[in-house]
């Protein structure tokens, strides 16, 4: 049995880099036979990237991290990167075996036995798992599943023309492939179920529309699967004879090929069979690893996306590092300098590693976290340090300025300590920010806004900012830096990832959110300790869109604090349910039942996915019977709601209009363009203004969109509270400014995820528009097309090379003077409003 020091499983970026490092070490040691072996189940290196679309642009994020590997890697096309690695394999004489799928790994450190599916076995002292998360595609599970015309991947849908193709599967990949193929082929989707329930909304709508449209070449067999595939015996018929199992029996069809997109078998079972433990049952769980990437099985190391690092550059760095670790060289990881920059401005003399360790100890909620995960957190966050005004502050700023000058060449600039002044506001009420703050040292004061300004002081180990993190609402209070405070500001994405993988963090944040909401609404002077007992007895509830919180007529014994999302209240009338009110996140729902009138007078329904805290009567009474309870404002707001709801009830047309706004999704909008159809003359100056202030491409479609009672909602971004487009943006190009505008910055790579995710169709993928002659030239000499987007403009060759990028309304965040559409409307038909003004819009419809 061949014996090696290291066996690397998986020839993706991580595995390649590890093998290259091992190869280089062998060369330096003058070995004639390799001390390592790289095993790859596929017949080529980097299978996942081989499967990317032709010409796909591959990013080299994160930009500020240096590459440390014997193989080259830089942002570029898939072909260039694969070519560079192919070169590296040849030049380095890397010891790689293809077609070597590993079936089993057994043994212990120093003597592992790696068995392939072919039966061949190798022995190794150490094993590196670099197998990625893709797994092997699930096969048809029918006879003939390996026929060459049965594909599990579709690289280029345009490759086939006028064929009859069966697409098996009901997920996003199957739908996307089927829609693309249907352009030129007769395509049939085989769906095992009755619906396409797993697909993203955009895909579900698109596929159903295509299937029901008789002009499109796409049809669907529901409740159908493949029983067998055989080559056709008739030379004139298409290549394959397929027997289908349908709900009404068997059916035989002919086709030219089958594309099966049935998902991948995740590699978790294989990993667990080696003895590696996962912390929980979640599908996105990653194994626990030491600082050296060693798993709980000594001698087995895990790197790359399986270790929780899905980025290529990180994976390659890890490949390099892990081989060095195995050889006893305890090098500092490639991201070590990043930690040093973060700590540079702190008044401590300890090393970066020591400080990371100490910080983790100081924050109770993060103490049990995997040390690697905590380290990642620090690197992805901003470090804030306050100094008292004067010499200290000036010195610290000077020190950081020097560091920044040194780092000026790097693009983007890596994060470094942010120096702030003692007494400075970290954030103000009304600002749109979604980051989360943890205090490592010193104090931070939270000051609530009017009507009562109450100050709370938070110290080491405590955190704040969770309300905006969870709901997307603007900040409600002012956060003021105390003396000598050190605060970690973690962006939302990182925080959500952490909360999803770590129960302790999630429940810790949930808990403090509940306590602070109780404080805000009911007992502003109570301390957190006093509210602890009550907080433990309230319930956190989650509602899907359309789910009911409570029904009209029920006897109510609880109220709800809406944490995120939105709720509408409606009353039953003779003509059907009428909407009387909408409640946004951060507000109370159903409090009237606990204050005077126990019968629910409305039905409360969630308009979008919402979270709420349910507080029962007993806890409510405990809160409000305190000496410092603020009952007056509560009672006043209840009285006002009663009147408002009654007014809406007696004006059913106002309720219908509000219903219309909610149906159009304005329940989650923060800034929406509304056009009064009785004032609009159709001059399209708003669209022209939008195009002219945004590089010749309009982000607004005035004429499209729904209308009701003279209120027209054109197709333009509504800057949702929790933007759907942000969910899935790989380069994180979609941001929200402090004033709430959601915009797409220059790092867009044109992947189109945002366009597919947006339920309101406000995003387009377009090429850059060519430059036009100026306004005066057009006015006087009729050159060019005039203001506005030129329909069917021809992009320049350079623009075509850059590719299509996502564009949408950004509320003119970079235009001084604010939204151009509103300023350009001659008749005053176009206005932009926020949700607080919906009631005005709905009530004053006198026309």
Among 23, 339, 538, 841, binds another protein (CB under 8 A): 841
Using CB under 8 A as the binding rule, the residues of this chain from 598 to 657 that contact another protein are none
Position 769 contacts another protein (CB under 8 A): no
**Interface with another protein by CB under 8 A: which range of 415-423, 528-536, 681-689, 732-740?**
681-689
Identify the sign of the CA torsion 808, 811, 815, 819.
positive
Position 677 contacts another protein (CB under 8 A): yes
Position 844 contacts another protein (CB under 8 A): yes
Contact 85, 16 (CB under 8 A): yes
Q: Which residue has the tokens 């070449």?
A: 217
The candidate with the shortest Cα–Cα distance to 24, out of 69, 80, 76, is 69
Distances (CA, A) of 367 to 362, 379, 461, 529: 8, 17, 10, 21
Contact 139, 260 (CB under 8 A): yes
| Least distance CB 506 / another protein (angstroms) | 41
Q: How far, rounded to the nearest angstrom, does the alpha carbon of residue 127 sit from its chain's CA centroid? A: 33
Sequence-distant (≥ 6) Cβ neighbours of residue 795 within 8 angstroms: 767, 768, 769, 770
Among 581, 641, 685, 698, binds another protein (CB under 8 A): 685
Q: Which lies closer to another protein via its Cβ, residue 337 or residue 786?
A: 786
| Least distance CB 767 / another protein (angstroms) | 21
Q: Please, what is the Cα angle at 808 between 807 and 810, to 5 degrees? A: 120
| Least distance CB 710 / another protein (angstroms) | 6
Which tokens in the block code for residue 415?
């994060």
**Interface with another protein by CB under 8 A: which range of 244-252, 312-320, 474-482, 831-839?**
831-839
Q: Which lies closer to another protein via its Cβ, residue 38 or residue 812?
A: 812
Q: Which lies closer to another protein via its Cβ, residue 326 or residue 824?
A: 824
Q: What is the 3-state secondary structure (H, E, C) of 618-635?
A: HHHHHHHCCCCCCHHHHH
Phi (first) and psi of residue 702, to 5 degrees? -70, -45
Using CB under 8 A as the binding rule, the residues of this chain from 542 to 561 that contact another protein are none
Q: Which lies closer to another protein via its Cβ, residue 119 or residue 817?
A: 817
Among 692, 721, 741, 768, binds another protein (CB under 8 A): 692
Using CB under 8 A as the binding rule, the residues of this chain from 566 to 595 that contact another protein are none
Among 679, 765, 799, 813, binds another protein (CB under 8 A): 679
Phi (first) and psi of residue 12, to 5 degrees? -85, -170
Among 678, 777, 783, 785, binds another protein (CB under 8 A): 678
The candidate with the shortest Cα–Cα distance to 538, out of 515, 520, 564, is 515
End-to-end CA distance of the chain: 89
Using CB under 8 A as the binding rule, the residues of this chain from 770 to 829 that contact another protein are 775, 779, 787, 815-817, 820, 822-829
| Least distance CB 819 / another protein (angstroms) | 10
Q: Which lies closer to another protein via its Cβ, residue 135 or residue 818?
A: 818
Q: Which lies closer to another protein via its Cβ, residue 539 or residue 678?
A: 678
| Least distance CB 809 / another protein (angstroms) | 14
Among 676, 721, 741, 810, binds another protein (CB under 8 A): 676
Position 596 contacts another protein (CB under 8 A): no
DSSP 505-526: HHHHHHHHHHHHHHHHHT-TT-
**Interface with another protein by CB under 8 A: which range of 223-231, 340-348, 537-545, 836-844?**
836-844
DSSP 734-797: EEE-TTS-EEE-TT-----HHHHH-TT---EEEPPPPP---HHHHHHH--S--SSPPTT----H
Q: Which lies closer to another protein via its Cβ, residue 686 or residue 717?
A: 686
Torsion of CA 435, 439, 443, 447, to 10 degrees: 30
Question: How many residues are given for the chain?
Answer: 847
Position 695 contacts another protein (CB under 8 A): no
**Interface with another protein by CB under 8 A: which range of 21-29, 359-367, 387-395, 699-707?**
699-707
Q: Which lies closer to another protein via its Cβ, residue 288 or residue 644?
A: 644
- Residues touching another protein, count (CB under 8 A): 40
Q: Which lies closer to another protein via its Cβ, residue 507 or residue 707?
A: 707
> Using alpha carbons only, how large is the chain's radius of gyration in Å?
30
| Least distance CB 585 / another protein (angstroms) | 24
| Least distance CB 734 / another protein (angstroms) | 24
Q: Which lies closer to another protein via its Cβ, residue 417 or residue 693?
A: 693
| Least distance CB 730 / another protein (angstroms) | 32
| Least distance CB 638 / another protein (angstroms) | 26
Position 527 contacts another protein (CB under 8 A): no
**Interface with another protein by CB under 8 A: which range of 11-19, 288-296, 603-611, 687-695?**
687-695
**Interface with another protein by CB under 8 A: which range of 478-486, 533-541, 609-617, 837-845?**
837-845
Which tokens in the block code for residue 524?
């502003």
Position 30 contacts another protein (CB under 8 A): no
**Interface with another protein by CB under 8 A: which range of 75-83, 554-562, 618-626, 684-692?**
684-692
Among 688, 736, 772, 805, binds another protein (CB under 8 A): 688
| Least distance CB 698 / another protein (angstroms) | 11
Q: Which lies closer to another protein via its Cβ, residue 190 or residue 829?
A: 829
Question: For the chain, give me the number of helices (H) and strands (E)?
Answer: 24, 44
Q: Which lies closer to another protein via its Cβ, residue 364 or residue 826?
A: 826
Dist CA 559 CA 547 (whole Å): 16
Q: Which residue has the tokens 């290529």?
A: 312
Among 370, 456, 693, 722, binds another protein (CB under 8 A): 693
Contact 585, 667 (CB under 8 A): no
Which tokens in the block code for residue 48?
């996942």
Neighbours of 643 (CB within 10 A): 9
Position 833 contacts another protein (CB under 8 A): yes
DSSP 398-439: HHHHHHHHHGGGSSSPPP-PEEEETT-EEE-TT-----EEEE
Position 689 contacts another protein (CB under 8 A): yes
The candidate with the shortest Cα–Cα distance to 729, out of 761, 756, 754, is 754
| Least distance CB 762 / another protein (angstroms) | 18
Q: Which residue has the tokens 């983007």?
A: 412
The candidate with the shortest Cα–Cα distance to 168, out of 241, 238, 246, 259, is 259
Using CB under 8 A as the binding rule, the residues of this chain from 704 to 733 that contact another protein are 704, 707-710
Dist CA 42 CA 101 (whole Å): 7
Distances (CA, A) of 141 to 174, 195, 219, 222, 550: 17, 21, 23, 18, 47
| Least distance CB 657 / another protein (angstroms) | 12
Contact 80, 72 (CB under 8 A): no
> What is the side-by-side order of every strand in the sheet holding 539-543?
539-543, 610-616, 558-564, 588-589
Dist CA 485 CA 211 (whole Å): 61
Residues of this chain that bind another protein (CB under 8 A): 676-682, 685, 688-689, 692-693, 703-704, 707-710, 775, 779, 787, 815-817, 820, 822-829, 831, 833, 837, 840-841, 844, 847
């Amino acid at each position: 049995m061949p014996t090696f020091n290291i066996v690397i499983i998986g020839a993706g970026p991580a595995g390649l880099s590890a093998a290259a490092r091992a190869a280089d070490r062998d060369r330096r040691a003058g070995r004639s036979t390799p001390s390592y072996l790289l095993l790859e189940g596929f017949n080529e290196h980097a299978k996942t990237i081989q499967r990317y679309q032709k010409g796909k642009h591959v990013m080299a994020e994160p930009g500020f991290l240096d590459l440390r590997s014997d193989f080259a890697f830089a942002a570029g096309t898939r072909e260039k990167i694969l070519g560079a690695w192919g070169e590296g394999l040849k030049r380095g004489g890397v010891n790689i075996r293809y077609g070597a799928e590993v079936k089993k790994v057994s043994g212990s450190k120093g003597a592992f036995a790696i068995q392939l599916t072919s039966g061949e076995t190798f022995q190794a002292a150490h094993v590196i798992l670099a197998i990625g998360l893709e797994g092997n595609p699930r096969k048809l599970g029918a006879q003939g599943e390996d026929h060459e015309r049965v594909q599990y991947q579709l690289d280029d849908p345009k490759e086939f023309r006028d064929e009859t193709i069966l697409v098996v599967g009901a997920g996003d990949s199957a739908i996307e492939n089927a829609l693309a193929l249907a352009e030129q082929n007769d395509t049939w989707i085989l769906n095992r179920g009755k619906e396409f329930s797993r697909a993203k909304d955009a895909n579900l709508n698109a596929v159903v529309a295509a299937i029901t449209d008789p002009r499109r070449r796409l049809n669907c067999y529901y409740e159908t699967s493949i029983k067998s595939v055989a080559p056709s015996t008739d030379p004139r018929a298409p290549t394959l004879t397929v027997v289908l199992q349908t709900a009404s029996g068997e059916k035989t069809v002919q086709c030219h090929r089958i594309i099966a997109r049935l998902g991948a078998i995740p590699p978790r079972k294989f990993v667990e069979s080696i003895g590696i433990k996962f912390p929980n049952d979640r599908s996105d769980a990653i194994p626990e690893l030491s600082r050296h990437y060693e798993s709980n099985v000594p001698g087995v190391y895990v790197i790359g996306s399986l270790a929780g690092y899905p980025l290529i550059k990180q994976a390659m760095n890890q490949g390099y590092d892990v081989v060095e670790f195995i050889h006893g060289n305890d090098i500092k990881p490639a991201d070590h300098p990043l930690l040093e920059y973060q700590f540079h401005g702190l008044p401590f003399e300890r090393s970066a590693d020591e400080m990371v360790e100490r910080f983790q100890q100081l924050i109770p909620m993060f103490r049990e976290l995997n040390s690697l995960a905590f380290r990642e957190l620090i690197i992805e966050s901003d470090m804030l340090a306050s100094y008292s005004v004067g010499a200290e502050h000036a010195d610290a700023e000077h020190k950081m300025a020097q560091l920044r000058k040194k780092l000026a060449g790097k693009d983007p600039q890596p994060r470094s300590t942010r120096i702030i002044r003692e007494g400075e506001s970290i954030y103000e009420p009304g600002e749109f920010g979604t980051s989360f703050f943890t205090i490592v040292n010193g104090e931070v004061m939270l000051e609530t806004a009017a009507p009562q300004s109450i100050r709370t002081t938070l110290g080491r180990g405590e955190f704040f900012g969770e309300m905006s993190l969870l709901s997307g609402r603007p900040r409600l209070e002012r956060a003021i830096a105390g003396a000598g405070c050190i605060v970690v500001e973690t962006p939302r994405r990182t925080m959500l990832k952490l909360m999803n993988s770590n129960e302790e963090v999630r429940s810790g944040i949930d808990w403090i959110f509940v306590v602070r909401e109780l404080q805000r609404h009911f007992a502003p002077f109570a301390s957190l300790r006093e509210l602890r007992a009550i907080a433990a007895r309230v319930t956190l509830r989650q509602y899907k869109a359309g789910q009911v919180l409570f029904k009209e007529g029920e006897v109510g014994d609880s109220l709800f604090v809406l944490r995120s999302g939105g709720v509408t209240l409606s009353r039953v009338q003779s003509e059907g349910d009428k909407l009387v009110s909408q409640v946004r996140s951060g507000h109370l729902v159903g409090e009237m039942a606990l204050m005077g009138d126990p019968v629910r007078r409305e039905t409360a329904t969630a308009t979008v996915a919402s979270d709420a805290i349910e507080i029962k009567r007993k806890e409510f009474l405990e809160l409000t019977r305190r000496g410092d309870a603020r009952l007056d404002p509560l009672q006043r707001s209840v009285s006002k709601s009663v009147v408002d709801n009654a007014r809406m009830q007696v004006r059913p047309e106002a309720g219908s209009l509000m219903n219309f706004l909610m149906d159009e999704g304005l329940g989650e909008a923060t800034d929406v363009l509304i056009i009064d159809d009785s004032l609009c003359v159709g001059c399209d100056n708003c669209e022209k203004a939008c195009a002219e202030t945004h590089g010749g491409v309009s982000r607004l479609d005035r004429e499209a969109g729904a209308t009701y009672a003279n209120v027209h909602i054109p197709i333009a971004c509504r800057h949702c509270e929790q933007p759907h487009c942000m969910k899935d943006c790989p380069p994180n190009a979609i941001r929200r400014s402090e004033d709430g505008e959601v915009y797409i910055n220059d790092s867009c790579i044109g992947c189109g995820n945002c366009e597919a995710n947006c339920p309101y169709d406000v995003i387009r993928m377009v090429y850059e528009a060519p430059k036009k002659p100026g306004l005066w030239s057009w006015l006087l000499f009729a050159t060019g097309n005039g203001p506005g987007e030129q329909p069917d403009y021809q992009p320049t060759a350079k623009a075509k090379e850059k590719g299509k990028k996502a564009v949408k309304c950004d509320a003119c965040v970079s235009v001084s003077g604010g939204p151009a559409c509103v300023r350009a409307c001659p008749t005053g038909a176009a206005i932009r409003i926020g949700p607080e003004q919906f009631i005005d819009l709905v009530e004053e419809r006198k026309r």
